[in-house]
A and B are shown apart, each in its own frame.
Chain A
């Protein structure tokens, strides 16, 4: 864009028409949509919310982008679980990653049911969560760190400085730790089984990943004296 502009301005061609040409050339990065196209609202709750507020009628005739492949209001699709699948994926093998995550959910169900049937009293049974998706969400929530250590150089010395992190980053770290814990296993144990165990442990606020999070918090606490060394 810039080169075209300089070429035209130097050559003196189309000097008056440069505005017209500018509007014809794509300005929205690599997107095939012009910048005034709005993102689709694909969730039913959001649509109803807009309907209540009376904003929906304003959006009816605004040009809208087509919904992406994973933007759906389906009950079977969980955005966090889809994200987790993508983090599990390596070399673009999505089918494999998806099957592994599905197998993980299945083994969570099996493990929990086994525990459930071993229980003798109703009180113990009530404590066990049988829905694997709920277990997954609980595990991710329990493993989210609050702080992070970043190396900052001051006077030739690198200090590990505790800094707060955003919700998105916390979620990413939690999922990454869970997956890496699933990969740390003996050879005969399958990934999905180990991941299921880790998820169940984390949902009960115990296990290796929660320990890892607490270790990070302890390190942050030890380095709290450097907290004012921050830029970012």
Chain B
């Protein structure tokens, strides 16, 4: 009687493991979605701090800080123009050689150039 109880308590033999079913094809999509986070657009911090230092030294008299102000404004206009050019390129999906930050469209054009092997 004791033996029988011991036999019942023993582990049942292992079941066949769950079979893997490939529901989706086992490869990455050839495209990325266009949902990207907004990147921060901070520019001209150094020029700004130089200008503020000049302002502080001259009691906020702009006439004595002409050079610093011009540098700051040039920096900002340059930033705006480069941003505009980059945005145009990104919208069209034109690739810039050597650029690390790319838009979704640019990545898609790059992926289309090097498709998955079927």
Contact = CB atoms under 8 A, between A and B. Distances in A.
Contacts of B80: 166
A228 B80 CA distance: 17
Contact of B40 (A164, A205, A231): A231
Given A166-B76, A227-B42, 18 more contacts: A146-B51, A146-B69, A147-B48, A162-B48, A164-B44, A164-B72, A164-B76, A205-B63, A214-B60, A220-B52, A221-B55, A224-B49, A227-B48, A227-B49, A228-B45, A230-B41, A230-B42, A232-B41
Looking at chain A's contact residues, is the secondary structure mostly helix, strand, loop, or mixed? mixed
Interface footprint category on A: 10 to 19
Contact of A224 (B42, B52, B62, B73): B52
Interface in B32-81: 38, 40-45, 48-49, 51-52, 55-56, 60, 62-63, 69, 72-73, 76, 80
A210 B103 CA distance: 43
Interface footprint category on B: 20 to 34
Contacts of B42: 227-228, 230
B63 to A, nearest CB: 7
A217 interface: yes
Looking at chain B's contact residues, is the secondary structure mostly helix, strand, loop, or mixed? helix
Interface of B: 38, 40-45, 48-49, 51-52, 55-56, 60, 62-63, 69, 72-73, 76, 80
B39 to A, nearest CB: 8
Contacts of B40: 230-231
Given A146-B73, A164-B76, A227 B45 contact: yes
Interface string A196-232: 0000000001000000001001101100100110111
8 contacts: A162-B48, A217-B55, A224-B48, A224-B52, A227-B42, A227-B45, A227-B48, A230-B42
